[in-house]
Chains A and B, each alone.
Chain A
């Protein structure tokens, strides 16, 4: 018997943690070795700086990419004081030189003139005109070089901001030299957060650049199962390959893969690589055949074949062969010859990294990460689907009330969503504080849509209760009129409904899983609605009367319930919820007059798939449609249209098998 998967997973994780702790110890020892054996760093000594500067005077005064290294070498290997300050000033274009004496100064500006400051003593000297001294302006390339060499000093800088910036610079452009001074700076790091970051960077650097193979392997092994982008980037850099071609497979290379002709690499592509490597002559393609034929027309014929007959591939090939037989054109290779040439070579990929031990470790680490990545990607997909599902639920739950409970098709439902969104937009125009305006907008959107819904029910729908198909058409008329009205009032361009700052950004679990905060908020809102609606329908007097009227209007009326009033309130409730959904949807999409129409078909399908007359059904329908759409998108991420097409087809088929939805009403309430 195998242990259940969750337990074995937990066990594996525990093992991994132990292994990591152990490897961490190994790594620390390795670092100590590194520190002891690493090159000694220039420290601030007590010698004056100016003479050192004078040694590389020209290079400092006329900085260029080619000479900057000499300056950096001279300065960092000297034991003069203030090297770091000077480099910083040089980089910031705050160094001046006196052309007469050739000395360097810092300077302070004073009423258009400059007060020179001695580099070593810091004493203020003469006040000179800007014309009398030369301002040294290193270009961008030089400044980057200086910044890179400054990093070694900045990692131990007393200012935590500078240390953070230096670590960021290391993360951007890592190289082998950084290992030594980074390791040296860890011991004295007071800030635990920066210290952790330094240790992590050191692991990443050691994995790629440590001189010792064991150190690298140890560092690589700690990266196994690490799903962060930087760790995966390091591993993929270690596993970088290059394409090679040889007559026979060499033994002395670190082989990544041997490519099988046909399955891994097509014959034509393989021949192309041969041509690129200069191992085979270029193959004559149709264009060059045509060009050769054109160049050799003699008396209206090529190679003995009249021009007008050259309208097939075969005739052209025959003519071309005749030309090359006469030496007028390069030889034409047949497919067999090409295959032969390809067959005489081996195509393989070789790791750039020559050491097999290291690439093996890296591959094992990548494999170890693979499952975790898959799990997290699945999780991320599930979050996406959940958030899409909650948007569908919000858009459709109002319909679940009007269509599901009252059996009234309201094609203007989408326009109630739009109304809610525009209400939010208008309120934001008057209340600039986004949080406050949202707090006002939610109930206002409900009221506006509620009023519109009640008006629609009183004026139109109650006359059509016996004619459901005509309700569909009449509400469609309302829908186009409302859409056009919104266009006339607010214009055709999209209007923003800005979310408050605390809803901006996203909640990130790691580099793979992150969810926009606004989507989480919509999910929570959907949950609140579910609970509220269930409470209203199951626990209040209104809900009781609504259910009574739904099941048997005549009997309900004879028990003293006024069906007119109940219908009006139910319709208002459904419409009001649509209004609030509009605010939620407007927060993450933009507010346009067509936004409601985009959701109406989906919403109807959500209700129908879920099962009419059941809030739980709507929830199930929304969840199913959300997960399906994201699932199909996962197969073909480039195209959301495909997902929607297949989703719609799936729903059509689904209704074939469960015509009454997932939660079908049973018994008398099912009607028909």
Chain B
């Protein structure tokens, strides 16, 4: 403002530098992620010394996927100021999309194998019927719902990984942003969307096996003979690559003028609108893109988890996602990665019975019982005293140096 009043010339734009040199955090992140991937690979059962068990490789791979969805959440919340309580639903949708193919293709292989010895070869209709009753017998139906029309086709289902969350986010975001729903109202609205989706999936006639969800996803059709150690390694590499690409993509988007507009919308939406920017389009773009990335993360996560059910999509999961990002530190991408990795690994360590109980003499603290209390209270403390989260510690170091 003062520039304009005093009539001073605007400061010259900084010389254009290459994106990666400009963005040192991204470089550091890539280097560390590569190192981490290399170490895990060398220590794995499949290709290395076997120091890291296959189940741990899976947990690490899943954690990388969670980091990716946390990065997406950070972009939409930490940078754009939309506290979405629906991004874990997009994550789940991606998982369902790929899970349908995994389940259908595997069931089809099993059915064809068992019918191959029959004297008269089966017709296509018979195979489809058998697959239908194999998959849907558990909810008392034997017909494949229309939703599964393309479940046999990997390309279509992979496209659905992107399209299902993308379209849902596009339509929902368009409706919500258009009517200027902001702040806590938007949070409640996205939570309502997540609730509706999970309630829908909980029904047995939703066409997605109700509360049984999709299972057996760790078996990859076409590679049923391949040991899980090798498959776990593939998915670990895939997850690491997806995280790296996602991180760079978001860092690149946010480094430019576009990023500045996004941050400005977070800080004062009305002022950005008065400056002539079409705020709704920017928000819609960020909301949809992050939803798509969340879907991809989910598509990589659930084959490693092996099972997906509607409880994964429940509103609470999306709130946990926000908790991770807040603990890691909003408004910095590596903060989201840190938060997701630390909290989810700590959670699976403490609730998995790996951590020793603490004997106070008069009371034994069992971590399985007290972890959530600790998380809840710790989270309140972070919100109150360290609004910048774990990532804020780096600022601290940087300042001292």
> Which A residues lie at the B interface, using CB under 8 A?
290, 293-294, 297, 302, 307-308, 310-313, 316, 409, 411, 460, 463-464, 468-470, 472-474, 476-485, 487-488, 597, 601, 604-605, 608, 639, 641-642, 644-645, 648-649, 651-653, 655-657, 659
Contacts and interface: CB of A to CB of B under 8 A. Distances in A.
B120 A307 contact: yes
Contact of B192 (A308, A312, A482, A601): A601
Q: Which residue of B181, B185, B377, B380 has the most chain A CB atoms within 10 A of its CB atom?
A: B380
A484 B369 CA distance: 7
Given A474-B380, A477-B379, A655-B179, A601 B372 contact: no
Nearest to A657: B179
A291 B195 CA distance: 50
Given A481-B372, A601-B192, A652-B193, A476 B319 contact: yes
Contact of B376 (A313, A472, A480): A480
A172 B27 CA distance: 84
Interface string B378-397: 11100110010000000000
B377 A648 contact: no
B203 A641 contact: yes
Residue of A316, A487, A659 ringed by the most chain B CB atoms within 10 A: A659
Contacts of B371: 484
Contacts of B377: 477, 481
A310 B175 contact: no
Residue from the set A409, A480, A604, A657 with the largest chain B CB neighbour count within 10 Å: A480
B192 A651 contact: yes
B376 A478 contact: yes
Interface in B97-127: 119-125
A488 B369 contact: yes
Nearest to A480: B376
Nearest to A660: B185
Top-5 shortest CB links A-B: A481-B376, A477-B379, A648-B196, A484-B372, A311-B121
Given A313-B125, A648-B196, A652-B175, A477 B387 contact: no
Interface in B166-187: 172, 175-176, 178-181, 183-185, 187
A302 B187 CA distance: 67
A483 B372 contact: yes
Given A480-B375, A604-B188, A310 B199 contact: no
A8 to B, nearest CB: 43
Contact of A460 (B184, B323, B384): B384
B369 A652 contact: no
B202 interface: yes
A290 B129 CA distance: 16
Given A460-B380, A474-B380, 7 more contacts: A302-B120, A307-B119, A470-B383, A477-B380, A481-B376, A639-B205, A652-B172
24 contacts: A293-B120, A294-B119, A312-B123, A409-B184, A468-B183, A469-B83, A470-B383, A470-B387, A472-B83, A472-B187, A473-B322, A478-B376, A481-B373, A484-B372, A601-B188, A601-B192, A601-B195, A639-B205, A641-B199, A641-B203, A644-B199, A645-B199, A648-B195, A659-B179
A299 to B, nearest CB: 13
Contact of A656 (B179, B319, B384): B179
A470 B323 CA distance: 10
B88 to A, nearest CB: 14
Nearest to A483: B372
A162 B180 CA distance: 73
Contact of B120 (A290, A468, A472, A641): A290
B368 to A, nearest CB: 10
Contact of B370 (A488, A641, A657): A488
A308 B122 CA distance: 10
A310 B200 contact: no
Interface of B: 83, 119-125, 172, 175-176, 178-181, 183-185, 187-189, 191-193, 195-196, 199-200, 202-203, 205, 315-316, 319, 322-323, 326, 369-373, 375-380, 383-384, 387
B120 A310 contact: yes
A409 B83 CA distance: 13
B323 A476 contact: yes
A297 B119 contact: yes
Contacts of A488: 369-370, 373
B198 to A, nearest CB: 9
Nearest to A412: B376
A326 B394 CA distance: 88
A559 B225 CA distance: 79
Contacts of A409: 184, 187-188
A571 to B, nearest CB: 16
Contact of A639 (B83, B203, B379, B387): B203
Contact of A464 (B193, B370, B383): B383
A473 B121 contact: no
Contacts of B376: 477-482, 484
Nearest to B372: A484
A468 B184 contact: yes
Nearest to A639: B203
A464 B380 CA distance: 11
Given A313-B123, A659-B181, A605 B192 contact: yes
B4 to A, nearest CB: 28
A474 B379 contact: yes
Contacts of A474: 379-380, 383-384
Given A484-B370, A652-B196, A477 B375 contact: yes
B242 to A, nearest CB: 27
A645 B200 CA distance: 6
B195 to A, nearest CB: 5
